[in-house]
């Protein structure tokens, strides 16, 4: 498994196991909230997006900075409160060890944004954007 996938898989496992706010569903693919039972909320999916890569040596050592999005859906009353609690729980979980058990140089939460779903009541959603810096060697991928 390549380094990028190893990092994202670790984040996925951290979210599945955290209990501050028990996520009803955690997935690597987009979620359709209308298809979830009430016990499936809050629901989250993880998605890597942009990545900047820089060669550090001729031998294949590279530095990468990637974005990882975690999109979360909540359901029911007090949706804004649910969003705020979920943001804190996810941030606390991922910031507890900023090296992700020595998989990365650093991870940081760089943005939280609301996602407009149109007439989506009783659902609300947000996207947390994490920036992850890590090194890898092309010869080990």
Per-residue model confidence as pLDDT tens digits over 125-141: 999 999 999 999 887 76
pLDDT of residue 120 exceeding 70: no
Question: What does the alpha-carbon distance between residue 14 and residue 81 come to, in Å, rounded to a whole number?
Answer: 23
Average pLDDT over residues 73-93: 91
pLDDT of residue 93 exceeding 90: yes
Average pLDDT over residues 99-105: 94
Can you give the pLDDT at residue 1? Answer: 64
CATH assignment at residue 44:
3.30.70.1700
- In the chain, where do the E strands start and end? 25-27, 43-55, 61-75, 106-115, 123-137
Can you give the pLDDT at residue 52? Answer: 96
Average pLDDT over residues 20-46: 93
What range defines the domain where residue 44 resides? 3-140
Number of domains in the chain: 1
Can you give the pLDDT at residue 118? Answer: 57
User: How sure is the predictor about 117, in pLDDT bands with cuts at 50, 70 and 90?
Assistant: low
- The mean pLDDT of the chain is 91
């Amino acid at each position: 498994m390549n380094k990028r996938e190893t990092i994202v898989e670790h984040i996925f496992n951290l979210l599945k196991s955290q209990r501050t706010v028990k996520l009803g569903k955690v997935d690597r693919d987009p979620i359709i909230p209308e298809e979830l039972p009430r016990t499936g909320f809050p629901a989250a999916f993880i998605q890597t997006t942009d990545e900047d890569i820089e060669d550090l040596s001729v031998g294949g050592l590279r530095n990468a900075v990637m974005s990882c999005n975690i999109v979360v859906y909540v359901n029911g009353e007090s949706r804004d409160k649910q969003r705020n609690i979920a943001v804190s729980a996810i941030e606390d979980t991922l910031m507890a060890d900023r090296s992700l058990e020595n998989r990365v140089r650093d991870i940081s939460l760089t943005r939280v944004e609301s996602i407009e779903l149109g007439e989506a009541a009783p659902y609300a959603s947000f996207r947390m954007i994490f920036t992850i810096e890590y090194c890898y060697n092309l010869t080990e991928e």
